[in-house]
Amino acid sequence: MRVLVTGGAGYVGSVSVERLLDAGHEVVVLDDLTTGHRASVPGAASLEIASYGDGAAMGRLFERARVDAILHCAARSLVGESVREPARYYRDNVSGGIVLLEAARQAGVGRLVFSSTAAVYGVPERTPIPETAPLAPINPYGETKRTFEGALRFYAEAYGLRSVSLRYFNVAGATERNGELHDPETHLIPSVLRAAETGAPISLFGDDYPTLDGTCVRDYIHVADLADAHLTALEATAPDDARTDAALVCNLGIGAGFSVREVVDAAAAVVGRPIPATMGPRRVGDPPVLVAAVDRAREVLGWTAQRPTLEEMIGSAWAWRRTHLDESGARIS
């Protein structure tokens, strides 16, 4: 099939593009390169530099590219920024998303896989979190993702759009070609590895949580596993596939959690020296434990994570940083 990957020059998008090409699909990457990297797009994919929120550009692209399905990875995705600037999140994640859906509808593209997030659950009542848990996002990022999921549900009922929304937990790791590089970087694993590179200590956000070692527990998933899930989900949106007759929602995680301390210890083992770290106060809005219930992804999509260890996730991230970043942390290849 020919797949349009929005955000295909970003971290998750680019690894998914690699996976789709490996599986023999044609890929059109759509990215405005505001946070994506041109170097992340393989030569075998074509790159369109535009925004998915630009209706005229999308109309022309669908006319020209004749895609069968869309993998919608592009979005604004920083929780803190979303609290400070909700307008940007509503404009891009909601309004922009609807522009994309409308252009797709006019072009007759009826299959879509959406990068959603565990942030739609807010602070869950219990964990592991099933997809049926109440949706109660506590920031504009999670709220705008929830809103777009809702649009997919109603587009399915009214217009027959076949979609899968994938609620990611904590994505980590790299392939040989593509890894995680944000500016500013807020995520734990790249920040830990940066501390190993520079010697400047990372601040750990609290050790007085009701967990075994007092630090927060998260469900980390290898980005290559996520890419496998995207491929499976795209296949599941085919008109003759019984897995999606409407809008399917699935968590993507490994179904188990690691604490912040376990991540730091695993990173020290990978890099072969202690990670400089200081214990700081809690970060506002951090739930103590977020772990995915992953039964639905297994039972409905037939997908499970194949790389569930911190060694694989942190080891691949470290290998990628050593080959693709210079000493200042800038990307060189």
Tell me the catalytic residues: 141
The least distance separating ligand UDP from the CB of residue 205, rounded to whole angstroms, comes to 4
Q: Can residue 218 be called a binding residue for ligand UDP (CB under 6 A)?
A: yes
Query: Does 34 contact ligand UDP by CB under 6 A?
Result: no
The two three-digit tokens of residue 262, written as one number: 């376990």
Counting residues that bind ligand UDP (by CB under 6 A) gives 14
Q: What size, in residues, is the chain?
A: 333
Position among 58, 101, 202, 223 found at the interface with ligand UDP (CB under 6 A):
202
Instruction: Please pick, from the candidates 26, 81, 153, 205, the single residue that binds ligand UDP as defined by CB under 6 A.
Output: 205
Q: How far is the CB of 153 from ligand UDP (least distance, A)?
A: 24
Q: How near is the Cβ of 275 to ligand UDP at its closest, in Å?
A: 11
CB nearer to ligand UDP: give 236 or 275. Answer: 275
Going by DSSP bridges, is the β-strand pair 217-218/258-259 parallel, antiparallel, or unpaired? antiparallel
What letters, b where the CB count within 10 A reaches 16 and e where it falls short, cover 40-71?
bbbeebebbebbbbbbebbeebbeebebbbbb
Residue at shortest CB range from ligand UDP: 216
How far, in Å, CA of 302 to CA of 292, rounded?
Answer: 16
Q: Determine if 310 is a binding residue for ligand UDP (CB under 6 A).
A: no
Residues between 171 and 200 that touch ligand UDP (CB under 6 A) = 186-188, 191
State the minimum distance, in angstroms, from the CB of residue 227 to ligand UDP.
Answer: 19
* Amino acid type, 178: N
Q: Is 216 in the site for ligand UDP (CB under 6 A)?
A: yes
Strands 170-172 and 69-72, bridge-based pairing: unpaired
Encoded one letter per residue, x for contact with ligand UDP by CB under 6 A and - for no contact, window 269-288 reads --------------x--x--
Nearest to ligand UDP of 193, 325 (CB atom):
193
Told to check if 222 binds ligand UDP by CB under 6 A, we report no
Q: Is 95 in the site for ligand UDP (CB under 6 A)?
A: no
From CA 37, how far away is CA 51, in angstroms rounded? Answer: 15
51 touching ligand UDP, by CB under 6 A = no
Contact residues: ligand UDP, CB under 6 A:
170, 186-188, 191, 202-205, 216, 218, 260, 283, 286
